[in-house]
């Protein structure tokens, strides 16, 4: 508690040290946030660092965007849950290797399973499952995933090794458009440390199948396949789907509300009472003659008032009574030295208003993820974000999510199809298994589909 004293050490004004404050953002701050992902110098050139004489494009101004993005996702409840929902939904119940034998009158594919047992075992293997879950994780969190095609000594591809986004960066493309993937374990603490850095060819987006065959023909074995979210128009690193919600501050709001409410509940009594203490009280409680200096008297009063404040604050002290004493002047019978504690009228309904704001922030984050809030159980009782959480609404939203997942699914399937072609020289189609929610009148709660 901060107290203003006069020259004799008598308190004049008291200000509680328990408070909560936040700064507001403006357009400049928003513009600066946009530059966090794709930094440019004053001449509008991409920032890079030199690693063994090669230009490695910075991923963020400090080359540590993946670390920041992972932390933001981890510490934001609805963002973390929403991305994990998309992650699980996109992977579905695994993949199925098949061939298209024709089409029916509705234009639907007629599929037949691939008879090659080795291919079927491969698509159902832990290697493929590990690849999909880790590359799709980074694809959703940071907008870019990468997988290394691992060859043996004969140049035959024997494995798909997903790379963690915190460990790799891409080099500046040369005049032929060729880039490399630089792998290092020290981007977080020593970004300019080249010890142990490894460079692997990065497969071109133009025609990965032909480029991979060409590299093999040239005797260049092993490469990295980048899986990007192309919506951002960024050719080096993709942009995560949730980025707009962070730039505009909705992610910050979802953080502020619980912190604000926690502080409000902890200090709720500071909103309820106005305490008035007469000057004469201090003359009797802390006589000037008892202290050698006014500084000693101030310290004693500070300690006393801190104990009073801590005794009143906190949820465990809610509605706790306070006992005070007063004196009556024996000459005129008037009450003196009385503490006056007046309840304050709090016209700010913190609980209701902040919960509404928190729900709006959660909905905006889910909108950025293209998720219907009803699917996640996020519903507001009224206003523009109100919705129906009925079963049919959730089923329809779930089907829309599966339909919208098509492009993301194709992006993560392309490396698997390329691996099968390079290893087995067979062109196969891959489809996802889905569990679809149905109505009770169909006689079953779920149905299984391929997509």
Whole-angstrom distance, CA of residue 240 vs CA of residue 140? 6
Query: What is the span of the domain harbouring residue 298?
Result: 2-23+254-343
Identify whether 193 is part of a domain: yes
Identify whether 184 is part of a domain: yes
| Whether residue 19 is found in the same domain as residue 40 | no
Identify whether 218 is part of a domain: yes
DSSP label of 72: H
Residue 207: CB atoms within 10 A of its CB come to 11
pLDDT at 384: 47
pLDDT at 188: 72
Q: Is the pLDDT of residue 11 over 50?
A: yes
| Whether residue 171 is found in the same domain as residue 305 | no
pLDDT at 135: 97
| Whether residue 143 is found in the same domain as residue 230 | yes
Q: Is the pLDDT of residue 126 over 90?
A: yes
Residue 297 or 391, more confident: 297
Question: Alpha carbon of 1 to those of 17, 187, 265, 288, 409: distances in Å?
Answer: 5, 44, 18, 21, 58
State what percent of residues in the chain have pLDDT above 70: 69
| Whether residue 49 is found in the same domain as residue 195 | yes
| Whether residue 194 is found in the same domain as residue 258 | no
Q: Is the pLDDT of residue 439 over 80?
A: no
Identify whether 214 is part of a domain: yes
| Whether residue 78 is found in the same domain as residue 19 | no
The H-or-E segment that residue 397 falls in is helix 391-404
Give the model confidence (pLDDT) of 322-340 as tens digits.
666 667 766 666 666 677 7
As a whole number, mean pLDDT of residues 404-416 equals 93
Q: Is the pLDDT of residue 54 over 60?
A: yes
| Whether residue 305 is found in the same domain as residue 429 | no
DSSP label of 6: -
Q: Which residues pair with 395 in a beta bridge?
A: none
Residue 13 or 413, more confident: 413
| Whether residue 176 is found in the same domain as residue 276 | no
Mean pLDDT of the chain: 79
pLDDT at 383: 45
Identify whether 377 is part of a domain: no
Residue 263 or 229, more confident: 229
Q: Is the pLDDT of residue 21 over 60?
A: no
Give the model confidence (pLDDT) of 377-391 as tens digits.
665 444 445 555 556
Identify whether 367 is part of a domain: no
As a whole number, mean pLDDT of residues 38-61 equals 77
pLDDT at 143: 93
Identify whether 248 is part of a domain: no
> The tokens of 97 are what?
């290797």
Number of domains within the chain:
2
Give the model confidence (pLDDT) of 204-239 as tens digits.
888 887 877 777 766 667 899 999 988 888 888 888
pLDDT at 29: 59
Which among 297, 320, 343 is the end of a domain? 343
| Whether residue 95 is found in the same domain as residue 203 | yes
Q: Is the pLDDT of residue 23 over 50?
A: no
As a whole number, mean pLDDT of residues 109-125 equals 92
Whole-angstrom distance, CA of residue 72 vs CA of residue 63? 16
pLDDT at 399: 85
Whole-angstrom distance, CA of residue 432 vs CA of residue 449? 8
Classified as helix, coil or strand, 144 is: strand
Whole-angstrom distance, CA of residue 182 vs CA of residue 239? 20
Whole-angstrom distance, CA of residue 202 vs CA of residue 222? 9
Question: How wide is the angle at C-alpha 13 spanned by C-alphas 298 and 317, nearest 5°?
Answer: 85
Give the model confidence (pLDDT) of 266-281 as tens digits.
665 445 667 777 777 7
Categorize the per-residue pLDDT at 319 as very low, low, confident or very high, splitting at 50, 70 and 90.
low
Which residue bears the tokens 């946030």? 33
| Whether residue 41 is found in the same domain as residue 68 | yes
Question: How wide is the angle at C-alpha 117 spanned by C-alphas 114 and 122, nearest 5°?
Answer: 95
Categorize the per-residue pLDDT at 440 as very low, low, confident or very high, splitting at 50, 70 and 90.
very low
| Whether residue 227 is found in the same domain as residue 316 | no
State what percent of residues in the chain have pLDDT above 90: 28
Q: Is the pLDDT of residue 57 over 60?
A: yes
| Whether residue 282 is found in the same domain as residue 225 | no
Categorize the per-residue pLDDT at 180 as very low, low, confident or very high, splitting at 50, 70 and 90.
very high
Which residue bears the tokens 């050139």? 45
pLDDT at 191: 55
pLDDT at 207: 81
Categorize the per-residue pLDDT at 415 as very low, low, confident or very high, splitting at 50, 70 and 90.
very high
Whole-angstrom distance, CA of residue 60 vs CA of residue 69? 10
Identify whether 90 is part of a domain: yes
pLDDT at 358: 75
Which among 343, 374, 391 is the end of a domain? 343
Which among 317, 343, 369 is the end of a domain? 343
As a whole number, mean pLDDT of residues 348-371 equals 74
Residue 217 or 112, more confident: 112
């Amino acid at each position: 508690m901060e107290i203003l004293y006069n020259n004799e050490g008598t308190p004049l004004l008291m200000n509680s040290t328990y408070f909560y404050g936040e700064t507001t953002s403006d357009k400049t701050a928003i513009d600066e946030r946009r530059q966090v992902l794709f930094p440019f110098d004053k001449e509008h050139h991409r920032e890079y660092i030199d690693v063994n004489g090669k230009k490695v494009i910075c991923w963020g101004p400090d080359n540590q965007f993946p670390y920041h993005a992972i932390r933001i996702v981890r510490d934001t409840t609805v963002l973390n849950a929403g991305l994990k929902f998309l992650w699980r939904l996109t992977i579905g119940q695994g993949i199925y290797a098949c061939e298209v034998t024709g089409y029916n009158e509705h234009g639907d594919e007629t599929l037949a399973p691939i008879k090659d047992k080795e291919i079927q075992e491969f698509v159902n293997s832990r290697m493929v499952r590990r690849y999909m879950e880790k590359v799709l994780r980074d694809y959703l969190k940071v907008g870019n995933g990468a997988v290394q095609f691992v060859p043996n000594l004969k140049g035959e591809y024997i494995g798909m090794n997903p790379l963690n986004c915190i460990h790799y960066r891409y080099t500046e493309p040369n005049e032929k458009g060729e880039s490399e993937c630089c792998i290092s374990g020290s981007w977080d603490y020593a970004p300019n440390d080249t010890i142990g850095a490894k460079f692997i060819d990065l497969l071109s987006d133009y025609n990965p199948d032909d480029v991979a065959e060409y590299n093999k023909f040239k005797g260049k074995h092993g490469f990295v396949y980048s899986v990007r979210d192309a919506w951002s128009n960024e050719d080096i690193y993709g942009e995560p789907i949730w980025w707009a919600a962070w730039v505009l501050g909705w992610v910050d709001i979802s953080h502020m509300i619980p912190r604000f409410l926690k502080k409000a509940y902890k200090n709720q009594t500071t909103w309820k009472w106005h305490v008035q203490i007469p000057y004469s009280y201090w003359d009797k409680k802390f006589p000037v003659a008892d202290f050698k200096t006014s500084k000693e008297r101030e310290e004693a009063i500070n300690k006393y008032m801190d104990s009073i404040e801590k005794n009143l604050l906190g949820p465990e002290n809610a509605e706790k009574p306070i006992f005070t004493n007063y004196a009556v002047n024996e000459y005129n019978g008037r009450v003196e030295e009385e503490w006056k504690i007046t309840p304050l009228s709090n016209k700010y309904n913190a609980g209701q208003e902040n919960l509404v704001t928190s729900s709006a922030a959660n909905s905006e984050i889910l909108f950025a993820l293209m998720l219907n809030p009803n699917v996640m159980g996020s519903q507001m009782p009224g206003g523009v974000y109100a919705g129906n959480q009925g079963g049919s609404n959730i089923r329809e939203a779930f089907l829309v999510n599966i339909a919208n997942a098509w492009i993301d699914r194709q992006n993560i399937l392309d490396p698997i199809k390329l691996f099968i072609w390079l290893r087995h020289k067979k062109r196969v189609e891959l489809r996802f298994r889905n569990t679809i929610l149905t109505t009770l009148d169909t006689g079953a709660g779920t149905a299984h589909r391929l997509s």
